[in-house]
Structure 1
Amino acid sequence: MRRWIAGAVAALVLAGVMPDHAGAADAPGKRALPYYASIGAGQARMRTGPARSYPASWLYQRVDLPVKVVAVFKEWRRVQDPDGTEGWMLAALLRDTRTAIVRGTEPAPMYARPSDGASIAWRAAPGVVGRLSACGGGWCRFDVKGQAGYVTVDRLWGVEPGERLP
């Protein structure tokens, strides 16, 4: 009886009736595109295509740099960096930790509370990368190695204007 059931299941898989579970490991991690991630490796190569055989176009050496994932192909992610450069990275080089980078030419004030009237706790220079939390209402809590404050979303790349983060 067991052989018959195993044979029937195998026949259904071969016939394409049952769903393909080759990508089942990726199923829990599937997300709506685009989404933000960050570089989790000390060195991460951006490639011109989704395989190691494609040439590397950039070598990133900045852990926590935010990237926008715009496409997925197997274990590869097509990402966009803060400067707008796009290419492919292995998913293993990325993590879900939400980070952002200060944009603009002037330092971004980091307020004690999410309010323009709050006192300024810190200032973050353009290009500084920090971790995000508590985003909503046009503000995000921005933590740069333990120095945290609230920054307006328009000064950050790595979060959308109306996005909410816990």
Structure 2
Amino acid sequence: MAALPAFVQADERGPVTNLPLPRYVSMKASEGNARRGPDTTHRVDWVFTRRDLPLRVTAEYEHWRRVEDAEGQGGWMHYALLSGVRSVLVQGDMVQMHNSPDSGSSVAALLERGVIAQLRACQIDWCRLEVDSARGWVEKRHIWGVAADEEF
């Protein structure tokens, strides 16, 4: 087995930030280049064009973060394009947002596939989201941008 490159750590902590790897962040900018390597001399493989899009950070190197989206697309992005403010991507069609973390509670809104929502809190199976003026709880299985075991 080949040795891991210096920027990939096996201890689940980023060598630059000491934050967990992988972890979720969001796009701070409305457009950002994902490059083949951690430097502006590397080719752009992907361009993200949605502000607040959730991304998963999988590696760090100096001012660069290797990220991927819900479909696994990505590359190396400069950290200035990323934000620690959490968001999620709705992955189901017409997902019910409930008034409480219970499928029997009243429905506050229906969310279309592809909607980006601000993440406010998570329990083991449910997350509290905010989309425009709507707030409520969505089952975690319908969103991308939060770990299955994450609670806060």
Global fold match (TM > 0.5): yes
Partner of 1:141: 128
Q: What pairs with 1:107-122 in structure 2 (closer than 5 Å)?
A: 107-122=94-109
> In 1, Cα distance between the equivalents of 2:70 and 2:15?
28
Correspondence for 1:40 among 17, 20, 28: 28
Q: How far does residue 144 in structure 1 lie from its aligned partner after superposition? A: 0.9
Partner of 1:131: 118
Q: How far does residue 136 in structure 1 lie from its aligned partner after superposition? A: 0.6
Structure possessing the higher radius of gyration over alpha carbons: 1
> Any stretches of 5+ residues in structure 1 without a counterpart?
1-25
Question: Is 2:45–2:74's contact at 8 Å kept on the other side of the alignment?
Answer: no
Q: How far does residue 107 in structure 1 lie from its aligned partner after superposition? A: 1.3
1:89/1:138 Cα in 2 relative to 1: closer, same or farther (>3 Å)? same
Q: What pairs with 1:1-166 in structure 2 (closer than 5 Å)?
A: 29-104=17-92, 106-165=93-152
> In 2, Cα distance between the equivalents of 1:33 and 1:59?
22
**Matched residue SS, 2:57:** strand
Moved over 2 A (4+): 26-30
Higher helix share: 1
Q: TM-score, normalised by structure 1?
A: 0.79
Q: TM-score, normalised by structure 2?
A: 0.86
**Matched residue SS, 1:151:** strand
> In 2, Cα distance between the equivalents of 1:28 and 1:90?
13
Identity of aligned residues (%): 36
1:145/1:28 Cα in 2 relative to 1: closer, same or farther (>3 Å)? farther
